[in-house]
């Protein structure tokens, strides 16, 4: 159970082994790279249309397949827009969702933003129109939307994980492989489309690593606003909502179960709080937990992320009594003024359009 099982770890192990199996993936990677390039060119040149809604769209996305910590930034953007008087709606694809149900990220966002309407599904253009028409939303936040160019956006906020900005540990922007040989959905040059780049988990990278990330971002997206962020632990709670001090983890032996894109980052955060991991069980991102997944656990506190916690409540295992959820929030270490200026300009421009439409209606 303790063996690496996440998709990221499987790809890393495969690349480290090298050999014929990796060489076989070079051809499909080249095909994926070519198709990705053609698709980008089609949208960039207007050959493939993007639908525009009657409300500006803020996309929060990344280059790699998961693991950058988008959900805390989505929550931060939604709260900041609401603070500016906007009626916010959320859009997402819903990867890993069961039929008729929300996926783990949507369930978490519903807890974090209970008053914000959230629709998920494959047709985000139609869902966006529904949020505007039926829910009265005047700005939409598109979760994991950097590659979803069918929907035009006013802002593209792109996240990079400081510990593995190009998908895999130890790979730079010049040698990072794309899917299926690596974890990049697009090459680093796609950052040129970003309106701002947010480097998450900046507290887990060295000064030298952050400097290299800065230089790479400047190569691919010169002049774009850059922010550094951390996912700061803020609370420790049981599944029933009762809370405990984070200091209780100091010096404690714990077990960890996770079904997220970057389990190692979660475990490093626990280590910074003084906890000692005894058993770690890692599952693929969006994993649907079963009672068997937690079998044999419960003798020690079992730490999980808030994203995984929403999937555990339906289980019947006695191990749930030992579950403790580590709540985190996005904190900007650098670049907050630039991001807030982008949101200010977005809100202001939308209000100008509203006033212009009203004026035209009164005097047209």
Looking at the fold, whether 238 and 139 belong to one and the same domain comes out as: no
Looking at the fold, whether 215 and 303 belong to one and the same domain comes out as: no
Looking at the fold, whether 213 and 253 belong to one and the same domain comes out as: no
Looking at the fold, whether 136 and 281 belong to one and the same domain comes out as: no
Q: Which residues constitute the domain of residue 304?
A: 232-330
Looking at the fold, whether 306 and 346 belong to one and the same domain comes out as: no
Looking at the fold, whether 165 and 294 belong to one and the same domain comes out as: no
Asked if 323 and 313 count as a contact pair (C-beta separation under 8 A), the reply is no
139 falls within a domain: yes
- Residue 3: the pLDDT is 44
* Count of domains observed in the chain: 2
Per-residue pLDDT averaged across 213-221, rounded?
Answer: 97
Looking at the fold, whether 217 and 71 belong to one and the same domain comes out as: yes
253 falls within a domain: yes
274 falls within a domain: yes
86 falls within a domain: yes
Looking at the fold, whether 177 and 296 belong to one and the same domain comes out as: no
Residue partners of 317: CB distance under 8 A and separation at least 6: 291, 294, 295, 298
Looking at the fold, whether 221 and 252 belong to one and the same domain comes out as: no
Q: Answer yes or no: is pLDDT of 360 > 60.
A: no
Q: Within a 13 Å sphere around the CA of 183, how many CA atoms are in the beta-carbon half?
A: 29
360 falls within a domain: no
Looking at the fold, whether 181 and 67 belong to one and the same domain comes out as: yes
CATH assignment at residue 347: 3.40.50.300
Report pLDDT digits (tens) over 74-132: 999 999 999 999 999 999 997 766 666 677 888 889 999 999 999 999 999 999 999 99
- Residue 350: the pLDDT is 55
267 falls within a domain: yes
Q: Residue 64 and residue 166: Cα distance in Å, rounded? A: 7
- The SS3 call for residue 341 is helix
- Residue 134: the pLDDT is 96
Give the pTM. 0.89
The length of the chain in residues reads 364
Q: DSSP secondary-structure letter at 67? A: -
Enter the tokens of residue 212: 């290299």
Looking at the fold, whether 76 and 206 belong to one and the same domain comes out as: yes
Residue partners of 307: CB distance under 8 A and separation at least 6: 71, 104, 105, 108, 260
Looking at the fold, whether 66 and 182 belong to one and the same domain comes out as: yes
């Amino acid at each position: 159970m303790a063996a690496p099982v996440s998709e990221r770890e499987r790809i890393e192990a495969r690349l480290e082994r090298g050999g014929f199996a990796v060489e076989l993936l070079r051809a499909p990677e080249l095909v994926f790279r070519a198709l990705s390039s053609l698709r980008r060119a089609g949208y960039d040149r207007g050959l493939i249309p993007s639908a525009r809604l009657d409300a500006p769209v803020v996309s929060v996305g990344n280059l790699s397949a998961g693991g950058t910590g988008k959900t805390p930034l989505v929550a931060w953007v939604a709260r900041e827009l609401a603070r500016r008087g906007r009626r916010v709606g959320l859009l997402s694809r819903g990867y890993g969702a069961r039929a008729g149900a929300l996926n783990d990220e949507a369930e978490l966002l519903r807890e974090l933003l209970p008053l914000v309407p959230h629709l998920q599904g494959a047709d985000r253009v139609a869902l966006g129109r529904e949020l505007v028409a039926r829910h009265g939303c005047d700005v939409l936040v598109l979760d994991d939307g950097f590659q979803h160019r069918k929907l035009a956006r006013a802002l593209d906020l792109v996240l990079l994980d400081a510990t593995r900005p190009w998908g895999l540990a130890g790979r730079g922007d010049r040698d990072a492989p794309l899917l299926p040989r690596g974890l990049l959905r697009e090459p680093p040059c796609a950052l040129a489309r970003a309106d701002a780049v947010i480097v998450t988990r900046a507290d887990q990278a060295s000064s030298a690593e952050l400097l290299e990330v800065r230089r790479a971002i400047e190569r691919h997206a010169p002049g774009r606003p850059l922010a550094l962020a951390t996912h700061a632990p803020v609370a420790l709670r049981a599944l029933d909502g009762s809370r405990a001090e984070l200091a209780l983890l100091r010096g404690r032996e714990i077990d960890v179960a996770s079904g997220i894109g970057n389990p190692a980052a979660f475990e490093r955060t626990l280590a910074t709080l003084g906890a000692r991991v005894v058993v770690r069980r890692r599952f693929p991102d969006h994993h649907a937990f079963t009672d068997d997944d937690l079998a044999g656990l419960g003798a020690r506190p079992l730490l999980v992320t808030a994203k995984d916690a929403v999937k555990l409540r339906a289980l019947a295992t006695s191990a749930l009594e030992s579950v403790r959820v580590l709540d985190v929030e996005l904190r900007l270490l650098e670049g907050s003024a630039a991001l807030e200026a982008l949101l200010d300009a977005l809100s202001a421009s939308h209000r100008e359009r509203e006033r212009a439409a009203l004026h035209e209606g009164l005097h047209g």
